[in-house]
Amino acid sequence: MENIYTNPHSWQSFKSIYRYNKKSRIKQWFYGLIILLVLVLFLPWTQNIRSKGNITTLKQEQRPQQINTIIPGKVIRWHVNEGDYVKAGDTILQLAEIKDEYLDPDLINRTREQLTAKQQTMDYYQNKADATVSQINAMAEAVVLKMDQLKNKLQQLDLIINSQENDLTAAENDFSIANKQFQRQRAMYDSGLVSLTQLEQRNQYYQNAMAKKISAQNKLTNTRQDINNTKIEINAIQQEYNEKISKARGERFQSLSEITTGAGEVAKLQNQVSNYSIRNGLYTITAPQSGQINKAMKAGIGEVVKEGEMIVQIVPDKVDYAVEIFVRPVDLPLIQKGQKVRFMFDGFPAIVFSGWPKGSFGTFGGRVVAVETAVSANGKFRVLVKEDATELPWPRRLSIGTGAVGMALLKEVPIWYELWRNVNGFPPDYYTNSTDKNTGTTK
């Protein structure tokens, strides 16, 4: 019997370790792996750009916003606490006035009384202006009547002067005849043909004719003087009524000026009443929209807040989430509106195969909606991505500010090409969306 201690070939450990008498399949496995690696090199690979970002919203009104005071005041009551959920219009805080010009509790009514008094004053001035217009019209009618009266007087004087001129002509003729007769009678008296009595009678007739002539001349002169006086009176009356009408017009314009000034003061008082009414509504600060209250900047009762100072912050509860990612300038030409992006959100597990996005687990789809053309403070360009309606919905437990890692999907290439590109340091292939002009669909 063979001694198992002297023949190592009979040992089980020897048979397991030393296999020089057995056939090996290493060569087959080696060639198989080589063929498998070659086949893998020809598998499709989706090029992508990775970038980190945060959860945000597309609409500005859905982002966390400050609630500020429009007026300064003193805190008298809080209606909410940090962490409370409020609806639009719910009261958050009540303030009290601190400026002395607004401390009067009956300020609006007193201002309205001033407004009423000013409006009544305007009515009085308007009535005065209307009365002045009536007065001007009356004076205009009066001056017309007065002028007609004086013109009638002138016409009468013209008729009188015509009659007096005729009387004067007759008196002059009588005086001429009497003068000739007196001269002849005197010559006859000097010759002794007539008596002294006859001469005195003729002299009396001569004197009477002279007196009638002088009287007619005086009447004519007086009538002419009356005509001149009447013309002067016409001018004086015209001037007098012009002055009265001008004075009345000046008073009317003064009343209209007071009305215009009063209208400006009324508008100012109306503005004050509106401002005071609006200011009364600003003492109560309400929620502009539904959401959660946080970051209260004032803590107690009686604290004074300044104009425009932040009171609390509200986070809206109805949010259309989006992701803002930042890409390098060298990658910016590869990002286009409508391009697909895959996301991994912080707090949600994911298994990612960057080159095979369809084989990944826990990633969510999105589409680029905006690419900013201005560089951000971090030296990169900001890209906004919204939820892709055709993909798995994003988690409802997302919060604004949550981190996210985005992968912008580019062109599908073989793996060997992607390895060759990375070895040589070439950028990914430029990705474009070609649109069919007839159908309007993206290929």
- The contacts of residue 429 (CB under 8 Å, 6+ apart) are 47, 410, 411, 413
Q: Give residue-wise pLDDT tens across range 361-399.
A: 568 888 899 888 888 888 889 999 998 888 888 888 788
Is the pLDDT confidence value at 441 over 70? no
Q: Which of 14-28, 88-102, 176-190, 422-436 has the highest mean pLDDT?
A: 88-102
Same domain, 129 and 152: yes
Write down which residue in 298, 315, 332 finishes a domain: 315
On whether residue 28 sits in a domain, the answer given is no
Mean pLDDT, residues 280-284 taken together? 89
On whether residue 341 sits in a domain, the answer given is yes
- For position 427, what pLDDT does the model report? 66
Phi, psi of 8 (to 5 degrees): -70, -20
Token pair, residue 333, equals: 């030409």
Same domain, 121 and 196: yes
Q: How many structural domains comprise the chain? A: 3
On whether residue 437 sits in a domain, the answer given is no
In CATH, what number is assigned to the domain containing residue 122?
1.10.287
Q: Is 90 helix (H, G, I), strand (E, B) or coil?
A: coil
CA distance 62 to 70: 21
In CATH, what number is assigned to the domain containing residue 378?
2.40.30.170
pLDDT-derived band at 438 (thresholds 50, 70, 90) equals very low
Is the pLDDT confidence value at 428 over 80? no
Mean pLDDT, residues 315-320 taken together? 85
Nearest to 95 by CA among 296, 312, 302, 297: 302
- For position 411, what pLDDT does the model report? 65
Q: 308: phi > 0 → left, psi -120 to 50 → alpha, else beta; which?
A: left
On whether residue 329 sits in a domain, the answer given is yes
In CATH, what number is assigned to the domain containing residue 305?
2.40.50.100
Is the pLDDT confidence value at 51 over 70? yes
Mean pLDDT, residues 77-99 taken together? 91
Same domain, 147 and 52: no
Nearest to 366 by CA among 344, 396, 346: 344
- For position 439, what pLDDT does the model report? 39
On whether residue 301 sits in a domain, the answer given is yes
Sign of the CA dihedral with 44 first, then 47, 53, and 55 last: negative
**Mean pLDDT, the chain, integer:** 81
Mean pLDDT, residues 402-416 taken together? 76
pLDDT-derived band at 206 (thresholds 50, 70, 90) equals confident
Sign of the CA dihedral with 308 first, then 310, 315, and 320 last: positive
Q: Is 159 helix (H, G, I), strand (E, B) or coil?
A: helix
Same domain, 223 and 119: yes
CA distance 364 to 44: 21
Sign of the CA dihedral with 111 first, then 114, 116, and 119 last: negative
On whether residue 150 sits in a domain, the answer given is yes
Q: Give residue-wise pLDDT tens across range 220-267.
A: 888 888 888 888 888 888 888 888 888 988 988 988 898 899 899 999
Same domain, 208 and 246: yes
Is the pLDDT confidence value at 5 over 80? no
Same domain, 380 and 306: no
Same domain, 247 and 375: no
- For position 285, what pLDDT does the model report? 92
Using alpha carbons, list the distances in angstroms from residue 287 to 85, 164, 220, 416.
10, 104, 102, 58
On whether residue 26 sits in a domain, the answer given is no
pLDDT > 70 fraction of the chain, expressed in percent and rounded = 85
Same domain, 119 and 262: yes
CA distance 199 to 205: 10
Q: Give residue-wise pLDDT tens across range 154-203.
A: 888 888 888 888 888 888 888 888 888 878 878 887 887 777 787 788 78
Q: Give residue-wise pLDDT tens across range 324-355.
A: 989 888 778 778 888 888 888 887 776 555 55
Nearest to 309 by CA among 122, 45, 60, 68: 68
Same domain, 241 and 157: yes
Same domain, 51 and 69: no
Mean pLDDT, residues 93-104 taken together? 88
Nearest to 400 by CA among 344, 316, 293: 316
Contact 222, 156 (CB under 8 A): no
Same domain, 149 and 238: yes
Same domain, 333 and 386: yes
Contact 238, 143 (CB under 8 A): yes
Report which of residues 300 and 301 the model is more confident about: 301
Nearest to 48 by CA among 372, 324, 335, 325: 335
pLDDT > 90 fraction of the chain, expressed in percent and rounded = 11
Residue 310 belongs to what domain range? 65-97+283-315
On whether residue 289 sits in a domain, the answer given is yes
Q: Is 417 helix (H, G, I), strand (E, B) or coil?
A: helix
Across the strands, what pairs with 351? Answer: 361
Report which of residues 31 and 15 the model is more confident about: 31
- For position 59, what pLDDT does the model report? 84
pLDDT-derived band at 90 (thresholds 50, 70, 90) equals very high
pLDDT-derived band at 209 (thresholds 50, 70, 90) equals confident
Amino acid residing at 124: Y
Q: Is 294 helix (H, G, I), strand (E, B) or coil?
A: strand
